[in-house]
């Protein structure tokens, strides 16, 4: 008989929604708590590869996701006057499939909506576990007891902070901060983009999926930057200060940034932990092993991690000790490799603007450089 069926998942992102789907599939009863009032609408495009596509296929989502594919072609490297001096081949920066994160989240939510209880607009605020269960206190709702708790609440995971320790112990900045926002596609880009690089900074604008929109990103090198994570005005001020005096379209991008409704700003960081489990609590996706945007692997890790965690719980008939250990075994080598890719990607940021020769070499070697060892994607029988 399967035990530990009542599972609380903190976070309705890629990882949390995928886990809700697979837990229900295996006969568990998931509850998902999400701090936002609904699943998140905002976000950049994410690309993913390999076994992540198999997970989507097993959820009957591969075709709908393929239909959203907005993969970019080659992009232009431009100087301060906007003159193209090199072409960045798509092979250097694109994965097997690229889709807007918001649309992927909506597809996952549609697939998982009927399979789980949802508590939107709330967050866990305290956790206490004993040998039989986990008592959870919420910011808004009444306290409840669950059999297991999964922290799928992203890079700044509340679950990790409450159960494993403060963020400083596990989150390692890669020394780059990034702002992303959408804006009118006033350059008339179509499945392409423009990139401008100056020492310690990079700015780009790429076509978005539809509707005459584009998205811009402003990256800059910074260590130990201190700011309020919830104060967008302060963050925009920091970005504007860093990019003052830069060429290309940067002045216009800074103006658009202030008007954007979906401004996002954060450090490029990794989460490095010796273990992702503590008793009846387990971390999933960015919360436990963020590989940083420079890896291009975070979405894949979230999808595969969720599939494996649910499958191992089913295989162990709810024995969380055995299941969590097996989940770590399957995921650990894969995560280690992806985090190395993420660090290499960040190192390239600190090199001088690439010449066409360098870009051509990067494109020619991309399959070897970006290919990582395949994760074993087991078949978990439904019990
Ligand atoms: C700029 C950028 C570009 C990226 N590009 C790529 C890419 O090209 N390819 C790729 O594979 N990956 C990319 N990623 C990474 C990818 O987005 C993440 O790795 C992936 O979304 C991880 O999914 P997740 O579910 O673990 O976390 P998230 O998607 O962050 O979801 C976490 C969820 O938890 C919720 N939450 C947070 N705190 C609480 C709380 N206290 N209580 C309840 N809910 C909470 C959040 O609202 C959110 O819904 C990129 C990331 C960034 C930032």
Q: How far apart (Å, rounded) are the C-alpha atoms in residues 102 and 30?
A: 22
Strand 201-207 relative to strand 193-198, pairing: antiparallel
Q: Is the CB of 129 under 6 A from ligand 1?
A: no
- Find all residues with CB under 8 Å of 227, minimum gap 6, and list them: 234, 235, 238
Q: How high is the pLDDT of residue 176?
A: 95
Q: Which two tokens stand for residue 123?
A: 């967050």
> Residue 226 and residue 229: Cα distance in Å, rounded?
9
In the chain, which residues have pLDDT < 50? none
Residue nearest to atom 37 of ligand 1 (CA): 153
Q: Two tokens at 107? A: 């597809």
d(CA 104, CA 116): 18
Q: Is the CB of 178 under 6 A from ligand 1?
A: yes
Predicted confidence at residue 188, as pLDDT, reads: 93
- Interval between CA 211 and ligand 1 midpoint (Å): 24
Distance of alpha carbon 248 from alpha carbon 268, whole angstroms: 24
CA distance 342 to 270: 8
**Closest ligand 1 atom to 33 CA:** 43
pLDDT at position 115: 94
For residue 360, what are its two tokens? Answer: 């051509």
What is the structure's pLDDT at 311?
97
Q: Quick one: which atom of ligand 1 is closest to the CA of 287? A: 26
User: Cα(263) to centroid of ligand 1, in Å?
Assistant: 15
Residue 119 CA to residue 247 CA, distance in Å, equals: 46
Residues facing 7 on adjacent strands? 30, 148
Q: Which residue among 22, 124, 154 is best mutated to probe the pocket of ligand 1, counting the most ligand atoms within 8 A of its Cβ? A: 154
CB of 36 closer than 6 A to ligand 1? yes
Task: For ligand 1, say whether the CB of 293 is within 6 Å of any of its atoms.
Answer: yes
Q: Which CATH number fits domain 6-72+97-170+270-349: 3.50.50.60, 2.40.50.140, 3.30.56.10, 3.40.50.450?
A: 3.50.50.60
> Can you give the pLDDT at residue 370?
61
Nearest residue to 375 (alpha-carbon basis) of 53, 30, 20, 14: 53
**What is the reported pLDDT for 371?**
59
CA distance 253 to 186: 11
Ligand 1, atom 23, residue with closest C-alpha:
14
In sequence order, the 6+-apart residues with CB closer than 8 A to the CB of 365 are none
Cβ of 123 closer than 6 Å to ligand 1, yes or no, is yes
Residue 156, pLDDT score: 97
pTM of the model: 0.93
d(CA 303, CA 292): 15
Helices (H), the chain: 14-25, 51-58, 62-67, 90-93, 101-112, 158-163, 232-243, 250-259, 286-289, 298-315, 320-349, 356-370
| Bridge partners of residue 145, in order along the sequence | 135
Residues 6 or more apart whose CB falls under 8 angstroms from that of 139 comprise 122, 123, 124, 125
Say yes or no: CB of residue 268 within 6 Å of ligand 1. Answer: no
First-to-final CA distance of the chain: 9
Q: CB of 8 within 8 A of CB of 133? A: no
Residue closest by Cα to atom 21 of ligand 1: 299
User: For residue 328, which phi and psi values (nearest 5 degrees)?
Assistant: -60, -40
Evaluate: CB of 299 within 6 angstroms of ligand 1: yes
Instruction: Pick the residue whose CA is nearest to atom 31 on ligand 1.
Output: 13
**pLDDT of the residue at 80:** 95
Q: Is 215 in the pocket of ligand 1 (CB under 6 A)?
A: no
pLDDT at 383: 60
Residue from 9, 151, 292, 293 whose mutation best tests the ligand 1 pocket (most atoms within 8 A of CB): 293
176: nearest Cα among 293, 337, 296:
293
Nearest CA to ligand 1 atom 8: 46
């Amino acid at each position: 008989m399967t035990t530990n069926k009542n599972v609380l998942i903190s976070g309705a992102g890629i990882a949390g929604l995928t886990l809700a789907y697979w837990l229900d599939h295996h006969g568990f009863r998931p509850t998902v708590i999400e701090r936002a009032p609904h699943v998140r609408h905002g976000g950049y495009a994410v690309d993913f590869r390999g076994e992540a596509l198999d997970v989507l296929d097993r959820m009957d989502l591969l075709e709908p996701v393929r239909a959203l594919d907005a993969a970019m072609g080659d992009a232009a490297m431009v100087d301060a006057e906007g003159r193209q001096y090199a072409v960045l081949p798509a092979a250097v920066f694109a994965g097997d499939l690229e889709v807007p994160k918001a649309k992927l989240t909506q597809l996952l939510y549609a697939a998982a909506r009927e399979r789980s209880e949802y508590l939107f607009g709330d967050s866990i605020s305290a956790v206490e576990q004993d040998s039989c269960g986990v008592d959870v206190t919420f910011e808004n709702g009444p306290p409840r007891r669950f059999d297991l708790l999964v922290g799928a609440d992203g890079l700044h995971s509340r679950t990790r902070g409450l159960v494993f320790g403060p963020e400083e112990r596990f989150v390692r900045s890669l020394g780059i901060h990034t702002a992303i926002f959408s804006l009118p596609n006033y350059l008339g880009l179509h499945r392409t983009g423009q990139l401008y690089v100056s020492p310690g900074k990079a700015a780009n604008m790429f076509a978005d999926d539809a509707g005459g929109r584009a998205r811009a990103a402003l990256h800059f090198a910074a260590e130990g930057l201190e700011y309020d994570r919830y104060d967008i005005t302060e963050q925009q001020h920091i970005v504007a200060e860093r990019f003052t005096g830069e060429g290309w379209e940067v002045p216009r991008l800074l103006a658009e940034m202030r008007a954007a409704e979906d401004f996002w700003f954060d450090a490029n960081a990794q989460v490095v932990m010796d273990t992702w489990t503590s008793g009846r609590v387990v971390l999933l996706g960015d919360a436990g092993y963020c590989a940083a945007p420079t890896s291009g692997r975070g979405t894949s890790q979230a999808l595969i991690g969720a599939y494996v965690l649910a499958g191992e719980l089913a295989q162990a008939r709810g024995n969380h000790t055995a299941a969590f250990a097996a989940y770590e075994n399957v995921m650990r080598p894969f995560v280690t490799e992806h985090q190395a890719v993420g660090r290499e990607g960040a190192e390239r940021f600190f090199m001088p603007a690439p010449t066409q020769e360098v870009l051509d070499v990067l494109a020619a070697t991309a399959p070897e450089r970006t290919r990582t060892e395949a994760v074993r994607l087991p078949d978990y029988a439904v019990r």
